[in-house]
Amino acid sequence: MPLSQFAESIESVGGVFKAYRMDSTKEESNMRRAAGLGTCECCDYVTISKDNQSVVLIEETDLESTIVDFKEKYDYLSDDDQVGLLYDEVLKEHRLKLYGSMLVLCRLSSSRDDVKAFLPENEFQFWLVTTSASSDSVILMDNLTDNLRGFLKSPLTKEMMDVVDIIPSTELAEKLSDEAIDIE
């Protein structure tokens, strides 16, 4: 099966750009299953930087829904405690998805020459794409940016995780155009 079986349009940019879908549940394009794994947590998409130096892992999230759901679930906590716990949960969730994505890519590259040839060796970028822009999610995004960078870069060396960006979906098309390869 060729790597192209995983190519899919990125929904938040209106289908203008494609990347390789990592978390598909479709049988014919299930990257996790092709790697011999179950439904492990992983990012939504993977692509490569234009300079062919970094694997770019893209996770789309609706921070507004996350905030609303979280506030409902933990309404018995004080606001300060809710915010602290929310940051911890969001950080841990995305670190788990990053590690799961690395596992999927490692397993695939060890068994498939097309994946091994496609992937740069040691550098990763993580783009967290937010699909909502409420005032709460913008505040969370601003406060989360530095924490997420530090949280993801600390277990991985700076040389391995060179970029961690949190960007609104409205800027994703431009970022992909400027920094990622075109996938057919």
pLDDT tens sequence across 125-171: 889 888 766 656 566 666 677 777 777 766 677 677 778 888 888 88
Show contacts of 21-28: CB within 8 Å, 24+ apart. Answer: 21/45, 22/46, 22/57, 22/101, 22/104
List of the chain residues with pLDDT < 50 = none
State residue 64's pLDDT score.
76
Which residues does residue 19 pair with via DSSP β-bridges, in sequence order?
8
State residue 69's pLDDT score.
86
Look up the pTM and report it: 0.89
State residue 57's pLDDT score.
93
Q: How far apart are CA 26 and CA 39, in angstroms?
A: 12
State residue 46's pLDDT score.
94
State residue 141's pLDDT score.
67
State residue 139's pLDDT score.
65
